[in-house]
A and B are shown apart, each in its own frame.
Chain A
Amino acid sequence: MARKLVAAAATGLLVTAGLFVPASTATASTACSGSSITINKPSGAEAASTASGHGHVTGNHYIRSTTISAGKVIYTWWADNSGGSNGDTWDTFYSTKTC
């Protein structure tokens, strides 16, 4: 039982960190950069491919587009809607990050 409680607490900590830590950390939902990850695996709606993003307990986010403007770069992050009982579904917009 104690082991289960510890595991649950650890999971909760990850989720909490994913929601509230500064956006510049590796587990943030948006950021000013990403690392190489595989998205849409298994394939379904879209073919599996490599993208720049990061993973979460609940799935991946990746940079779909970048807008360069005066003094800033705006990254548009999408959610990799893969996995679950219905396999890969179409990815959707998640958020933007101005850097």
Chain B
Amino acid sequence: MVAAAAAVTIGVFGACGVAPDAESPEATPGRLVEISEVAREDCLVVGPLVDGQVTVVDCGADDAVPVVGLAAVGDDAPDIAPAAAILNGFAQSACQPSFDAYAIEVDEPLTGKNLISVIDEATWSGVGTTVLCAVGEPE
């Protein structure tokens, strides 16, 4: 069962610590970064991967969401990337510990927030495939 996928938390990050650019918050362009190379102080924008990379933006930018952790899919992951719905389950299960830790850190429930998992199925490697976890506000 996907929900039972064991999640291996690699790290739990704090809330985004990058201060917005007070003079030109909309002038900061996004940059493409490999999932495994996203730093704990980074913020993302929600959108499809571009060549397996996420778009990292200044945390003061509109629609920026903070990274809260980096995880890996569990021991029951297949060797070949599964269908979208199953992939979704593995990614969300892997990130759940990071989401739980973030909720404790900010001392508020995450109900209503957008729990975001980023995984590149093109580079799926079975057990241990990296998943990036972020928490966004509702639109």
Contact = CB atoms under 8 A, between A and B. Distances in A.
Interface in A9-39: 33-36, 39
A75 B91 CA distance: 12
Name the prevailing secondary structure of the B interface residues: mixed
A66 interface: yes
Contact of B119 (A33, A51, A69): A69
A62 B112 contact: yes
A8 interface: no
A67 B23 CA distance: 33
Contacts of B122: 70
A73 interface: yes
A35 B88 CA distance: 22
Nearest to B51: A70
Interface string B89-120: 00110000000000000000101111111111
B139 A68 contact: no
Interface of B: 46-49, 52, 54, 84-85, 87-88, 91-92, 109, 111-122, 136, 138-139
Interface of A: 33-36, 39-40, 46-47, 49-53, 62-74, 76, 91, 96, 98
